[in-house]
Amino acid sequence: MKFGDFLFPDSRDPARDGIVIDETLREAQLADELGVDLIWLAEHHFDGICAYADPICFAAALAATTRQAGLGFAVLQMALHHPIRVAEQIAVIDNITKGRLTVGLGRGSSYNIYDYTGFGIDHHEAQARLDEAEEIMVRAWTEGEFRHHGRFWNVDVPRLRPRPYTKPHPPLIRAASGEASMLELARAGRPFLMNVQSSATTRRRFELYRAAMAEAGFDDDRIARNLDQCWVWRNVFVAETQADAERIGIPAFEAMAASRAEMRNRIYRETGLRIEVPASELPSARASVEHGFICGPPAHVTEAIAEIAELGVGGVIATFRLGPLPHEAAIASLRLFMTEVAPRFRSTGA
């Protein structure tokens, strides 16, 4: 089983953004030294819940300072980007890392309308923009001269330079926040990234994913290979004792959950603008200590990870720095996880 460190550093005070970014660079370097398989980067704007905001820019910095860990996007909000610019930037980073890049794509924020208004984008167009952008990016990486005339972009590209290091291009993976989008990916034979969900919801969705792939004509071997490329996200805090884990971790997790809704709620109160999200896609587990948080000593965390491993999932994306949790506490949690939890799965082949 693979393990990823999801760098999702919260900065409540704009004056501390630079400090938090520096701390996040140090966390990434330590994760690389400890043997984390992938370092994952998020994209959120304007609210401070992801201090570095621009994952492509940050990935370029990590490409030059890490040596072993892969770098992944979870995810690039493609509604906010020009696909040729992104294709070019990714090709550069893929060359610097010599193929350590995984490109996670998503339609954009499902909840924060200000991510769209800040870039002048209609959030209703997000899914269509994602689909068209991915098509253009793949053509840019794999073809020579090409033209594309679509709904959102008209481009006439002589030839993208540089070409990707990875042939034909870096691995692409889509995020699926709800069951409908997950099933669509299953029928297309594509792996997916799952956001934070309860154990029961995770198990049900993977059962549905297997069934949908089988119904679409994929055999057991292909289904297993797809599952091995899927990742699930969990918030994690590891301490020496359960009491210490709860004393330090739970307040940080609860503050994180509250802060992630803070600006969204303020914008709605002031403007009446918000994104209507179907009830089936509401990530109720994200804000729940019971269902959205793995918290405890190494033995307890190992049991929780084992439940995920039983599903045949390829990897767990773990967020260690939770909201206002101090950098030092997050680093201690990361160390315990990688020295006491991760080796149990790697040595047994789980």
Q: Where does the pLDDT of residue 280 fall: very low under 50, low under 70, confident under 90, or very high at 90 and above?
A: low
Q: Where does the pLDDT of residue 349 fall: very low under 50, low under 70, confident under 90, or very high at 90 and above?
A: very low
Q: Where does the pLDDT of residue 286 fall: very low under 50, low under 70, confident under 90, or very high at 90 and above?
A: confident
- Statement: residue 340 has pLDDT above 80: yes
Segment holding 237, helix H or strand E: strand 231-238
Name the one residue in this structure whose structure tokens are 């969204």: 264
- Statement: residue 347 has pLDDT above 80: no
Give buried/exposed letters for 279-295 (b at 16+ CB in 10 A, else e). Answer: eeeebebbbeeebbbbb
pLDDT in tens, 200-227: 999 999 999 999 999 999 999 999 999 9
**3-class SS at 73?**
strand
Cβ-Cβ contacts under 8 Å for 187 (sequence gap 6 or more): 212, 213, 215, 216
Sequence ranges of the domains in the chain:
2-344
- Statement: residue 11 has pLDDT above 60: yes
Q: What is the topology classification, in CATH, of domain 2-344? A: TIM Barrel (3.20.20)
- Statement: residue 19 has pLDDT above 70: yes
pLDDT for the residue 281:
58
- Statement: residue 279 has pLDDT above 80: no
- Specify whether the CB–CB gap between 350 and 277 falls below 8 A: no
For the CA atoms of 216, 218, 220, 224, the dihedral, rounded to the nearest 10 degrees, stands at: -100
Least confident span in 12-26, 33-47, 192-206, 284-298: 284-298
pLDDT in tens, 72-85: 999 999 999 999 99
Length of the chain in terms of residues written: 350
d(CA 34, CA 15): 30
Percent of the chain residues topping a pLDDT of 70? 97
Average pLDDT score over the chain: 95
- Averaged pLDDT, 87-92: 98
- Averaged pLDDT, 173-178: 92
pTM: 0.96
pLDDT in tens, 148-166: 999 999 999 999 999 999 9
pLDDT for the residue 108:
83
- Statement: residue 139 has pLDDT above 60: yes
Specify the higher pLDDT residue, 261 or 103: 103
d(CA 137, CA 159): 12
Percent of the chain residues topping a pLDDT of 90? 91
- Averaged pLDDT, 275-284: 67
- Statement: residue 282 has pLDDT above 80: no
pLDDT for the residue 350:
42
- Averaged pLDDT, 259-276: 90
- Statement: residue 50 has pLDDT above 70: yes
- Averaged pLDDT, 119-141: 97
